[in-house]
A = this chain, B = another copy of it.
Amino acid sequence: MTYAAPIRDWLFLLDEIAGIGEIAGLPGHDDATPDLVQSVLEEAGKFAAGVLAPLNRAGDEEGSRLDNGIVRTPDGFRQAYAMFTEAGWNGVPFDPDYGGQGLPWAVAAAVQEMMTSANMAFSLCPLLTQGAVELLQAHGSDAQKRLYLPNLIHGRWTGTMNLTEPQAGSDVGTVRTRAVRDGERYRITGQKIFITYGEHDLSENIVHMVLARTPEAPPGIKGISLFIVPKFLVRADGTLDGRNDLRCVSLEHKLGIRGSPTATLAYGDSGGAVGELVGEENRGIEYMFTMMNNARLSVGIEGLAIAERAYQQARDYARTRVQGRAADGTDPTPVPIIRHPDVRRMLMTMRAQIEAMRVLVAFVAGSLDRAKRHPAAAERARHQAVVDLLTPVAKAWCTDTGCAVTSTAIQVHGGLGFIESTGAAQHFRDARIAPIYEGTNGIQAIDLVGRKLARDGGTEMRALIAGMRTTVEAARKYDGGQYLAARLDESIEQLSAATKSLVSAMQRDRMAALAVASPYLALVGTVVGGWLLTQSAMAARRRRTDAAEDGDYLAVKEGIARFYAANLLPQAAALAAAVLSGGDTALALTEDQF
């Protein structure tokens, strides 16, 4: 169960898909030189493989435990976290003025994939802190930024997101936690559930970002405010005061990510936890949403990351497990199962799914950097539109695909895959959360269709499709690119027809249209994956003319793109057919008829 970070793949994608050369020319990113980026990825890979990966299996077995109100993370997590923060991994994409490294999001995405592959349960702690940092960077007062950001960016303190309550899951507007003004601060009372790293022993303080409702607030999502509620109160000089009035009531016994504590938190049992308002009252949901898009991309990366880890383990097993004879009858002695065509197909499928996810992540992260830093407002807006459109796709498609890959990895192991000590089962269990949290995948599909597609009548999607057609034209001119171009062209036509049909359906019958939102999202993911893999294959072909390049590595890129085009891209036809048939058949039964 060793892990080797895909450094070379990421360097290729940063160059060819994210466009790191151009990103390094954006204001504030001039230190993102090729040398620096390479050394960051290599160090991250080393840390992930050497420090985090070895803790993954034992962390799952041991789990986080609640003991008299104290949560103990698995053995080794504390020391690893100290090393993680000390090395600066907690602050990769953040503002250097507050101690961050100021690197592009595209680079941060690569680093995040590696840390998550190595140990998903561990990686959730910095992930949640990242959310808190983004919230405060965007909406905190100067004083709040000064007080909280340096500690959160360093990782000395960690952050959490407190949205969910028993009656308020996907419908966050029904939050009941109360916040009553008390001088300059607020008193918070209520219960929050499913709080990732809501309590733990890794950091000096935990900064909870809590959604709550003030007494006079309007009902629904327009009456929710956002508060900073630290575990230990913070004095104006940044030193810690006593415990705030909040406590961990219980931890969940979960299917996966068992190393990470998922807490139920009780606020205000002794009169009210002290909270600071972020921004203005009643704008909490709006603030949350500015952070949400990035968090959704990060969860998409989890799908990719866990798939990569599961793939590596399955591949290593397939190379060493000797069972059966070669199907072509050439060899009478037993062979490693990687020689069997069906096992080879499983590995190739996993590999192609992973590369498709990674190319999508690299593209969205590269767009995000331009959306944040490009000097021209029109360019920022153009890239932001791509980010908005593809973030729900990255979240849902990568997490569903991540589940599929981890399941195939079990299958490669045969009976041994079902035995917990093998470790393949853990990836399968860990991966299953990602389609659920940070907005279920159904909600991502509704975001894509009900908001992103509906608000501009499909304009941005058509612009994306136009870009894909340019790639088809370019691929037609490449030696070996004609096959990819033809397959891609077909799938683009299917996406185009489905988009047109769905935009019109949204105006006619919203219920029926939303009933095909999920296959539409999968269609977009499938076709965008095929598009970007085609670009990747073309870049590989171009590079092969350079004698200094590794032709073998580049041939693999082309081989993967062809496998995807022949075996996975045809799914577009099936998904488009479902969209084009409309949602009526999905809604045909009454509630009682189920």
Contacts and interface: CB of A to CB of B under 8 A. Distances in A.
Interface of A: 164, 167, 169-171, 174, 194, 252-256, 315, 318-319, 322-325, 327-329, 334, 336, 338-349, 351, 403, 407, 410-411, 414-421, 425, 428-429, 432-433, 435-437, 440-443, 445-446, 450, 510-512, 514-519, 552, 556, 559-560, 562-563, 566-567, 570-574, 577-578, 581-583, 585-589, 591, 593-594
A194 B415 contact: yes
A577 B573 contact: yes
Given A341-B515, A342-B445, A573-B570, A324 B255 contact: no
A347 B255 CA distance: 22
Contact of A511 (B328, B336, B351, B417): B328
A446 B340 CA distance: 10
A550 B527 CA distance: 44
Which of A319, A418, A437, A559 has the most chain B CB within a 10 Å cutoff? A418
Nearest to A445: B342
A573 B571 CA distance: 8
A537 to B, nearest CB: 12
A324 B171 contact: yes
A570 B577 CA distance: 6
Nearest to A174: B334
A341 B586 contact: yes
B347 A559 contact: no
A423 B581 CA distance: 34
A212 B341 CA distance: 29
Given A256-B418, A563-B585, A567-B585, A594 B338 contact: yes
A33 to B, nearest CB: 30
A588 B347 CA distance: 12
A562 B588 contact: yes
Given A328-B510, A351-B594, A566-B581, A411 B428 contact: no
Contacts of A566: 577-578, 581-582, 585
Contacts of A583: 341, 345
Contact of A563 (B318, B348, B559, B586): B586
Contacts of A324: 170-171
Chain A interface SS verdict (over half): helix
A562 B583 CA distance: 12
Q: Count chain B CB atoms within 10 A of each CB in A329, A349, A559 and give the residue with the most.
A: A559
19 contacts: A164-B415, A169-B323, A170-B414, A252-B419, A253-B419, A315-B594, A338-B594, A341-B512, A343-B442, A345-B583, A348-B588, A411-B436, A556-B589, A556-B593, A560-B589, A563-B586, A563-B588, A566-B578, A570-B574
A517 B342 contact: yes
Given A170-B414, A171-B324, 15 more contacts: A170-B324, A253-B421, A254-B420, A255-B418, A318-B594, A327-B446, A336-B591, A342-B514, A344-B586, A411-B441, A556-B593, A562-B585, A566-B585, A570-B573, A572-B574
A433 B411 contact: no
A586 to B, nearest CB: 4
Contacts of A343: 442
Contacts of A410: 255, 432, 436
Given A334-B174, A411-B441, A573-B574, A420 B253 contact: yes
Please list the 5 inter-chain residue pairs (A to B) with the smallest Cβ-Cβ separation, ordered nearest first: A570-B577, A566-B581, A342-B442, A341-B515, A559-B588
**Residue from A436, A518, A586 with most neighbouring chain B CB atoms (10 Å):** A586
Given A344-B515, A351-B594, A436 B414 contact: yes
Contact of A255 (B429, B433, B587): B429
A542 to B, nearest CB: 20
Contacts of A588: 348, 559, 562-563
Contacts of A560: 589
A255 B170 contact: no
A421 B254 CA distance: 8
A172 to B, nearest CB: 10
B421 A345 contact: no
Nearest to A512: B341
